[in-house]
Structure formats: structure tokens, C-alpha cells
Amino acid sequence: MPHLKLMLIGFGSCIVFDVWQRIFQIFTSIPPSNWTLVGRWFIGLTSNGQFIASQLSQQPKAKHETSIGWVVHYVVGIAYAYAFFILVELGILEPTITHGLIFGMVSVLVPWLFFMPAMGNGILANKAPNPKISCALALMMHSLFGLSLGVGFSTLLA
């Protein structure tokens, strides 16, 4: 599969992710992911090696943090598309909607065990105000993202 198709699938799946968060906010008042804080964390990581952030929302604003956060989000989404592709090529997964969902559900381990702790919220968001809600939202979003990858792969490989 050409790189352009993989990038489009990852990019498109991020768009579905972002649009759904905004629709979900209308019905629940739960705000979408804060990519500004992701950018602030990433800047801290790359500029001074700060892997684990504490009180990220209270740290000084960094130049271009919002733009950088959005770029990180989409680069990670594209990386997930490549990871799914590799698993398909290895015969571990199939390019189907069902396997996309499975991939998305398993991929939630990344925020639970990496991004949440790195951004100061602890493993499984145990330092967040409501860890169960944070983890459930991550599972919902990664499941939707995986479904989107599955749709993209089943459409472009059909």
C-alpha cells in the first residue's frame, strides 16, 4: 500500500476522531482532547527532556503549543495507520472493520500507559479528577479511531 494512502487513512481517522469529540461534547458537555497541552508536553520533552509533566495546565504557555499539539495528534494517528498496516502485512490482522476495531481497542494501552502518565495524569489516569471517565473516553475514542482505520483499509484494499 503506498505511503500516501496510509497517510490519508491515518489523517482521515483523526478527522473522524476530532469531529466525533465535538459532537459528543454537544450531548455530554465533555470537552474534546486538549491538543494545546499535548503541544506543551511535546515542547517540554523536546526542549529539556521532560518526559513526565506535572501540573501541565499550570506550566507557562509555550510558543506555537496549540499548532504543535495538533501536529503531534495527526502524526500519531498516521503512525497508528502504519502500525495497523504492518500487522496486516504480517498476517496478524486483516484489513477489515472488525480488525480495525480490535486494533483500536488494543491501541488504548498507549494513552493509558504512556500518554496519560507522561502528561502528569498517572497510569490509567489515576491522578486525574475522574480516572474511570478518562479511561472510558480513551477507550471510546480509540475504538472509533480503529473503526475508522478499518473502514479506510477495507475501502482502499478492496
Three-state SS for the chain is CCHHHHHHHHHHHHHHHHHHHHHHHHHHCCCCCCHHHHHHHHHHHHHHCCCCCCCHHHCCCCCCHHHHHHHHHHHHHHHHHHHHHHHHHCCCCCCCHHHHHHHHHHHCHHHHHHHHHHCCCCHHHCCCCCHHHHHHHHHHHHHHHHHHHHHHHHHHCC
Nearest Cα to 116, choosing from 101, 138, 145?
Answer: 138
Residue 94 has pLDDT above 70, yes or no: yes
Phi, psi of 83 (to 5 degrees): -65, -45
Share of the chain above pLDDT 90, in %: 85
* Confidence grade of residue 15 (pLDDT, cut at 50, 70, 90): very high
The pTM score is 0.92
- State the pLDDT at residue 158: 58
Residue 86 pLDDT > 80: yes
For 119, the grid coordinates are 502528561
Phi/psi for 55 (5° steps) reads: 50, 50
User: Comparing 148 with 60, which gets the higher pLDDT?
Assistant: 148
Tell me the residue type at 80.
Y
- What phi and psi, each to the nearest 5 degrees, are found at residue 4? -60, -40
Q: What is the mean pLDDT of the chain?
A: 94
* Structure confidence by residue, pLDDT tens digits, 123-134: 999 999 999 999
Domain residue ranges in the chain: 3-153
Q: Are 125 and 116 in contact (CB under 8 A)?
A: yes
pLDDT for 26-56, tens place per residue? 999 999 999 999 999 999 888 887 788 888 8
Mean pLDDT lowest among 1-5, 21-25, 65-69: 1-5
